[in-house]
């Protein structure tokens, strides 16, 4: 176990970054886990200030970087870094730079899991339509991660405990395919 949890911020024009920052502000003091936020740092800093959360983080440079919360903006496919540097945001909903950044963050987090650099990857929502407009064959995050892991069979499971520490585990039988 590395003690690291990676969080792919999802679509930076969506709710993922806000939910992530609020969750970290509320829960990160509960244990000594290190968190690696994967996505554009500039948008996070602005959001942190707007929400008044006062979260502190450092830029990730390597696995030995000290700090509880670290932020890494992955390069991804050509143009991702340039698009993110060209604008600190906010990015319009469904924009190509936001979709590219979401894919780059998802792939970066998955590769870190596969290399054993992090113990888990938490994924924030992405905009499937924006990703597909890039020309990417994308059904969903579960399928994307399955492909990267070269898994033949995968499933999504949701779990959580109630106030009496009883665990509920729900495994989905089908994947989500929008009808519209």
Instruction: Look at the block and give the residue holding tokens 């399928």.
Output: 143
Instruction: Look at the block and give the residue holding tokens 């509880």.
Output: 68
Q: What is the pTM of this model?
A: 0.85
Task: Provide the residue-wise pLDDT of the chain in tens; the chain has 180 residues.
Answer: 888 999 999 998 899 999 999 999 998 888 889 999 999 887 788 899 999 999 999 888 776 777 899 999 887 665 555 555 544 556 788 888 889 999 999 999 999 999 999 999 999 999 999 999 999 888 889 889 999 999 988 888 888 988 999 999 998 887 766 666
Which contacts (CB < 8 Å, 24+ apart) does range 132-138 have?
133/94, 133/96, 133/99, 134/96, 134/99, 134/100, 134/103, 136/103, 138/103
pLDDT at residue 117, rounded to an integer: 93
Neighbours of 156 (CB within 10 A): 17
Integer CA distances (angstroms), 54 to 42, 70, 118, 130, 174, in order: 15, 14, 25, 31, 40
pLDDT at residue 124, rounded to an integer: 96
Neighbours of 41 (CB within 10 A): 18
């Amino acid at each position: 176990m590395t003690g690291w949890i990676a969080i792919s911020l999802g679509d930076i024009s969506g709710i993922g970054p806000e939910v992530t920052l609020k969750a970290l502000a509320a829960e990160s003091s509960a244990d000594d886990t290190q968190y690696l936020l994967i996505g554009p740092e500039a948008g996070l800093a602005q959001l942190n200030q707007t929400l008044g959360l006062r979260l502190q983080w450092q830029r990730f440079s390597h696995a030995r970087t000290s700090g509880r919360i670290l932020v890494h903006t992955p390069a991804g496919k050509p143009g991702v870094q340039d698009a993110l540097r060209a604008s600190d945001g906010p990015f319009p909903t469904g924009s190509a730079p936001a979709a590219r950044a979401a894919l780059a963050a998802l792939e970066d987090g998955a590769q870190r899991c596969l290399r054993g650099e992090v113990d888990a990857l938490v994924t924030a929502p992405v905009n499937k339509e924006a990703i597909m407009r890039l020309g990417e064959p994308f059904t969903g995050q579960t399928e994307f991660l399955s492909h990267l892991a070269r898994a033949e069979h995968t499933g999504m499971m949701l779990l959580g405990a109630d106030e009496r520490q009883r665990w509920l585990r729900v495994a989905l039988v089908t994947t989500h395919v929008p009808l519209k």
